[in-house]
């Protein structure tokens, strides 16, 4: 009876919160009053959920030996022996088959974006996760591909400013994740993730500051751009910038004061300050551009 529960845990459904990036195009592309586009966006979201879950299964297969040495990851279904590798592979094929089948019902562009996402993650799992800086950029590419899936994949032209903002925020989350791992694991960090041997706190702190600054500046410039004014017919998006700043600074506070940042999917939905700031941002933005 517990086996389906182990498979559900293996899929890491709490990580599906990352796939809300797919709805960026629906919000900023004024597609919320198009029922067909809403259905496509929901299907694209589901497709990314299935394919991204398959990626986590793949990672757990490759990392099972290292996970057994980790104080928390050793409880994962494959590392703990609750799910065998052959069963995990069948589950992986099921997830990817369902995800690509869903994408195929929408558009070839979405299928191509999902395929790119899967290939990057296979390369990451096999070798590239051991390359410092590149590993974070590859993780960040997943968020950018989600934005492209919700724009180009649905026939919505993406804003270059929003793509830059999404890239910077993704890099910020990636570097804070690595910094959190160094804080939590200390001298044993390299034993759990080899690439951590090649990172150091000053370098990561600098990368966090640069990516956070870039994200804030890119979003602020977008809010004042001629493109935003023409698309949304409002010059008031600039008033949503403090909410973005608050969310980023709050996340940095959690990282350095409460040892947060190790898992963005959990941290972003557990902190009430970030949740309220996010809800206010969505509400204010929608009221301004509708």
- Mean pLDDT, the chain, rounded, equals 89
Which whole number is the average pLDDT over 132-161? 92
Q: Which of 82, 97, 116, 74 is nearest to 8 (CA)?
A: 82
Residue 40, token pair as written in the block: 């496509």
Residue 6: CB atoms within 10 Å = 16
Taking the C-alpha atoms of residue 251 and residue 238, their distance in angstroms, rounded to an integer, is 21
Taking the C-alpha atoms of residue 258 and residue 266, their distance in angstroms, rounded to an integer, is 14
* pLDDT tens per residue, range 187-202: 565 556 678 888 999 9
Q: Which of 72, 177, 60 is nearest to 125 (CA)?
A: 60
pLDDT score at 183:
82
* pLDDT tens per residue, range 90-137: 999 999 999 999 999 998 999 999 999 999 999 998 889 889 999 999
pLDDT score at 1:
44
Q: Which of 137, 259, 128 is nearest to 194 (CA)?
A: 128
pLDDT score at 187:
58
Taking the C-alpha atoms of residue 26 and residue 198, their distance in angstroms, rounded to an integer, is 40
Taking the C-alpha atoms of residue 87 and residue 258, their distance in angstroms, rounded to an integer, is 37
- How many percent of the chain have pLDDT more than 90? 58
DSSP string of 182-198?
HHHHGGGHHHH-GGGGG
Which whole number is the average pLDDT over 33-48? 93
* pLDDT tens per residue, range 254-289: 988 877 666 777 777 788 999 999 999 999 998 998
CA–centroid distance for 75 within its chain: 23
Residue 108, token pair as written in the block: 């070839």
pLDDT score at 189:
55
Whether residue 274 contacts residue 246, with contact meaning beta carbons closer than 8 Å, is answered with no
Q: Which of 31-40, 81-90, 261-270 has the lowest mean pLDDT?
A: 261-270
Domain extents in the chain = 1-158, 159-290
* pLDDT tens per residue, range 217-233: 999 999 999 888 888 88
Taking the C-alpha atoms of residue 171 and residue 158, their distance in angstroms, rounded to an integer, is 19
pLDDT score at 260:
67
Residue 187, token pair as written in the block: 């001298």
Residue 65, token pair as written in the block: 């030996």
Whether residue 226 contacts residue 159, with contact meaning beta carbons closer than 8 Å, is answered with no
Q: 1-158: which CATH topology?
A: Tetracycline Repressor; domain 2 (1.10.357)
pLDDT score at 172:
96
Which whole number is the average pLDDT over 245-253? 94
Whether residue 81 contacts residue 40, with contact meaning beta carbons closer than 8 Å, is answered with no
Rg (CA), the chain: 19
pLDDT score at 191:
55
């Amino acid at each position: 009876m517990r086996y389906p529960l182990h498979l559900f845990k293996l899929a890491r459904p709490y990580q599906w919160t990352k796939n809300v990036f797919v709805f960026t195009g629906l919000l900023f592309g004024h597609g919320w009053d198009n029922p067909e586009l809403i259905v496509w966006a929901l299907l694209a979201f589901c497709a990314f959920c299935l394919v991204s879950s398959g990626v986590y299964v793949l990672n757990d297969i490759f990392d099972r030996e290292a996970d057994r040495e980790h104080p928390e990851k050793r409880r994962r279904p494959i590392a703990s022996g609750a799910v065998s590798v052959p069963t995990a592979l069948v589950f992986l094929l099921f997830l990817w088959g369902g995800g690509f089948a869903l994408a195929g019902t929408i558009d070839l562009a979405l299928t191509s974006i999902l395929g790119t996402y899967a290939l990057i993650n296979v390369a990451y799992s096999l070798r590239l996760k051991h390359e410092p800086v590149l590993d974070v950029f590859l993780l960040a590419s997943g968020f950018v591909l989600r934005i492209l899936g919700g724009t180009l994949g649905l026939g919505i032209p993406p804003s270059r400013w929003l793509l830059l903002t999404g890239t910077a925020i993704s890099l910020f989350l990636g570097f804070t994740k690595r910094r959190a791992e160094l804080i939590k694991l200390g001298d044993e960090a390299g034993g759990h993730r080899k690439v951590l041997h090649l990172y150091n706190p000053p370098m990561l702190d600098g990368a966090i500051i640069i990516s956070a600054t870039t994200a804030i500046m890119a979003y602020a410039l977008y809010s004042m751009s001629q493109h935003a004014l023409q698309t949304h017919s409002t010059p008031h998006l600039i008033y949503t910038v403090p909410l973005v700043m608050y969310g980023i600074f709050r996340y940095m506070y959690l990282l350095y004061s409460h040892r947060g940042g190790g898992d963005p999917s959990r941290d972003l939905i557990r902190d009430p300050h970030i949740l309220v700031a996010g809800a206010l941002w969505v509400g204010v933005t929608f009221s301004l551009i509708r």
